[in-house]
């Protein structure tokens, strides 16, 4: 047996063993990554408050052009979108913690979480998190990458499991 055949054969056997052991740890490709659901939940919560300014502008325009007899009725409706804005903003902030704290079960999920946070910032200069939120996101992503690579996964606080 030639040296090249030995090295090539050994590499093929090693690749097969690594692939088989990784396949046992990783979910089936059709399984849903929980971080993808968390991202979609935030996307919905993020878009909802963005609709309010348009509704507020439309209500104010209608109020300006309304006959005097209808203005009282329209003014009574105007605080509704303003009041909803605070509650929707708080719901969005709460929803933003879910993608940060959800440990992806695949590299695809980890990449999607990082992409989503970057996309939110690029679209409207919207930073999703303060420092603690970003640390949580990095920790959950690190855990997913370590699990996929077969590395020891760190616990919070830097301890190893």
pLDDT computed for residue 5 by the predictor: 44
Reading the block at residue 87, the tokens are 């509650």
Any bridge partners for residue 154, and if so which? Answer: 160
From first to last of its 161 residues, what are the pLDDT tens digits of the chain? 444 443 344 434 434 444 444 444 544 454 689 999 999 999 999 887 777 777 777 778 887 888 888 878 777 776 666 677 788 888 888 999 999 999 999 999 999 999 999 999 998 788 888 889 999 999 999 999 999 999 987 776 655 55
pTM: 0.61
Is 145 in contact with 108 (CB distance < 8 Å)? no
Three-class DSSP category at 160: strand
**Burial classification of residue 38, based on how many CB atoms lie within 10 Å of its CB (0-12 exposed, 13-18 middle, 19 or more buried):** buried
Q: Choose among 105, 137, 90: nearest CA to 118.
A: 137
- Dihedral (CA of 142, 147, 152, 154) sign: positive
pLDDT computed for residue 31 by the predictor: 62
Q: Which residue has the tokens 């370590």?
A: 146
- Dihedral (CA of 104, 139, 112, 124) sign: positive
Rg value, the chain, Cα: 25
Is 63 in contact with 75 (CB distance < 8 Å)? yes
Three-class DSSP category at 112: helix
Neighbours of 157 (CB within 10 A): 6
pLDDT computed for residue 89 by the predictor: 83
pLDDT computed for residue 81 by the predictor: 63
Three-class DSSP category at 5: helix
The whole-angstrom separation of Cα 33 and Cα 107 is: 10
The upper half-sphere exposure of residue 52, i.e. CA atoms within 13 Å in the direction of its Cβ, equals 18
């Amino acid at each position: 047996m030639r040296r090249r055949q030995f090295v090539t054969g050994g590499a093929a056997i090693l690749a097969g063993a690594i692939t088989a052991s990784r396949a046992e740890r990783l979910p089936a490709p059709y399984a849903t990554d929980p971080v993808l659901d968390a991202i979609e939940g935030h996307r919905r919560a993020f878009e909802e408050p963005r609709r309010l300014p348009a509704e507020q502008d439309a209500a104010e325009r209608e109020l300006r052009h309304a006959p005097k007899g209808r203005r009282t009725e329209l003014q009574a409706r105007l605080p509704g979108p303003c009041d909803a804005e605070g509650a929707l903003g708080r719901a969005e902030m709460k929803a933003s913690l879910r993608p940060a704290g959800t440990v992806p079960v695949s590299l695809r999920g980890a990449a999607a979480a990082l992409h989503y946070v970057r996309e939110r910032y690029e679209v409207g200069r919207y930073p999703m998190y303060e420092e603690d939120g970003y640390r949580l996101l990095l920790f959950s992503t690190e855990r997913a990458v370590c699990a996929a690579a077969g590395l020891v996964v760190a616990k919070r606080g830097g301890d190893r499991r």
